[in-house]
Structure 1
Amino acid sequence: MTKNIIITGTSRGIGFELVQLFSKAGHNVLALSRNEKPIQSLKLGNVTCFSFDLNDNNAYKKIKDFVNEKWGKVDILINNAGTLLNKPFSETTIGDFETVYKTNVYGVSELTRIVLPYMKNESHVVTISSMGGVQGSMKFPGLAAYSSSKAAVITLTELLAEEYKESGISFNVLALGAVQTEMLEEAFPGYKAPTTALEMAEYIFNFGLNGNKYYNGKLLQVSNSTP
């Protein structure tokens, strides 16, 4: 059955791969990113993309207008967009924290809030977090803003699952280990991750379609490294 899927952070990395996987499987995709050109250049028939900034309060109306006019309902929302800052805590300003949290927490919260009225029983909200946001996991210096923001969306997911438990909508969060993306390379130049963006996208693709049958309000750690 064809599903309507919204994905954020689609200009590169995991999001870019996800759009192609869902499109190839015959689903309708709304691909959201500040830079829409990479997806536009693919010229995929069942994919709509336009420039969208999670930090722009006025941009959310574009989402509502599109869903109202074209789809009427949303089956899957994948909150994939994120910003990564690697900076010593002593140099991390309130402005740095605001920038990271605006995308990684406030943007996730607001887009989910805007999309939820269009979701029905068996719809699925998947939020992408990080192993660094998991309590008790290995932590890295320089990621105070990033990892704490990723912890926030784990708890947000649990809260939404509880608040909407009578709706039949599922909310789950995936804490990813290191994935070889442009964002990782920018933050940690020269580091080589064990998992490619496509490999992780394939996992998220399957989880988005089927994970809600088995999970709700759950954090899944998607990492092949120890601890």
Structure 2
Amino acid sequence: MANVIITGCSRGIGHELAKLLANEGHQVLALSRNDGPIQELKHERIHGFSFDISEGSSMDAVVRFIKEKWQQVDILIHNAGMLINKPFAETTTEDFEAVYRVNVFGVAALTRTVLPYMRSGGHVLTITSMGGVQGSAKFPGLSAYSSSKGAVITLTELLAEEYKEAGPSFNALALGAVQTEMLEEAFPGYQAPVSALQMARYIMDFALTGQTFYNGKTLQVSSSTP
């Protein structure tokens, strides 16, 4: 059974993913700023505490947990994300910085924090977006969000190359539209073709086995053209 760290677990895909993995017998550290929904599960294999991916003190808390409880991490899933939907002319530098702190800088910081505790056969999986894939359809209003998702795709490729001898493996899943609270907040009334639970099942399977077949790859997971 694997030791799995997941970010963005208070709702949506991350919440479903934590439950699925724990119910399969894996140990899960489910991280989010609002840890209430995770604590309410009272699942013996799900651990959690309030975690802000943009704060160094939160990284220290992760290290303490690993040292005290696990010693080793098998899978790290970067699922936390921030989305701002604004016309570019209204998207401020502060907006860009806020999005990049979560979607890019936080991913880099947590990866750097956890890597010393990962084995060579481990898997770092970043959940990104079709909006960050070069040549995919783009939507106005998502200049900060989609560009940040493109950045972590490139980061995935770079880390896979840098760690290809010692491991772990690095991959990304570029998701299309999924019916989550974040999507509803950004695009009220839009109905996505895939539920959070359906996508969580796919991500779980890929997180557990994808490193056997892929490294440095971004797989497009979309039944539509978002």
| Shared fold, TM over 0.5 | yes
1:134-186 CA-to-partner distances (Å, cap 9, x unmatched) read: 00000000000000000000000000000000113110000000000000000
Query: Per the alignment, in what secondary structure is the counterpart of residue 19 of structure 1?
Result: helix
Cα distance in 1 for residues equivalent to 2:133 and 2:2 = 31
The corresponding residue for 1:27 is 26
Give percent identity, aligned residues only.
Answer: 66
TM-superposed CA distance for 1:40, in Å, is: 0.7
- Mapped to 2, the partners of 1:38 and 1:182 lie a distance apart of 14
- 1:151 equivalenced with 2:153 (yes/no): no
Q: Report the 3-state secondary structure (helix = DSSP H, G, I; strand = E; otherwise coil) of the residue aligned with 2:127.
A: strand
Q: CA RMSD in A?
A: 0.7
Matched-pair contact (CA < 8 Å) for 2:177–2:222: yes
Q: Quote the residue 2:8 is aligned against.
A: 9
**Deviation per CA, 1:58-85, whole angstroms, max 9, x where unpaired?**
2110000110111000000000000011
Per-residue CA deviations over 1:166-207 (Å, capped at 9, x if unaligned) read: 113110000000000000000000000000000000000000
C-alpha separation in 1, matches of 2:119 and 2:165? 11
Asked if residue 90 in structure 1 is aligned to residue 89 in structure 2, the reply is yes
Q: How many residues align?
A: 226
Alignment of 1:1-227 (within 5 A): 2-226=1-225
SS in 2 for 1:41: helix
Amino acid of the structure 2 residue aligned with 1:20: K
Alignment partner of 2:200: what SS?
helix
Corresponding letter in the other structure for 2:225: T
Q: Which runs of 5+ in 1 are unaligned?
A: none
Deviations 1:91-137 (A, max 9, x none): 00000000000000000000000000000121000000000000000
- TM-score, normalization: structure 2? 0.99
1:56: Cα distance to partner? 1.0
Give the counterpart letter for 1:196 in structure 2.
Answer: S
Q: CA deviation at 1:55?
A: 1.1
Q: How much has 1:226 moved relative to structure 2?
A: 3.5
Q: In structure 2, how many angstroms separate the alpha carbons of the residues matched to 1:36 and 1:169?
A: 28
AA at the equivalent of 2:47: T
Q: TM-score, normalised by structure 1?
A: 0.98
Report how far residue 57 of structure 1 moved: 1.5
Q: In structure 2, how many angstroms separate the alpha carbons of the residues matched to 1:99 and 1:75?
A: 29
Q: Distance in 1 between matches of 2:225 and 2:85?
A: 22
In 2, the alpha carbon distance for the partners of 1:145 and 1:47 equals 32
Report the Cα distance in structure 2 between the residues aligned to 1:89 and 1:225, rounded to whole angstroms.
Answer: 25
Q: What letter corresponds to residue 160 of structure 2 in structure 1?
A: A
**Is residue 59–residue 113 contact of structure 2 (8 Å, CA) maintained in 1?**
yes
> 1:207 is matched by which residue type in structure 2?
F
Distance 1:106 1:24 in 2: 31
Q: Are 2:80 and 2:103, in contact at CA under 8 Å, matched by a contact in 1? A: yes
SS of residue paired to 1:220: strand
Q: Deviations over 1:18-73 (max 9, x none)?
A: 00000000000000000001011111001110000011122110000110111000
**CA distance in structure 1 between the partners assigned to 2:148 and 2:92 by the alignment:** 15
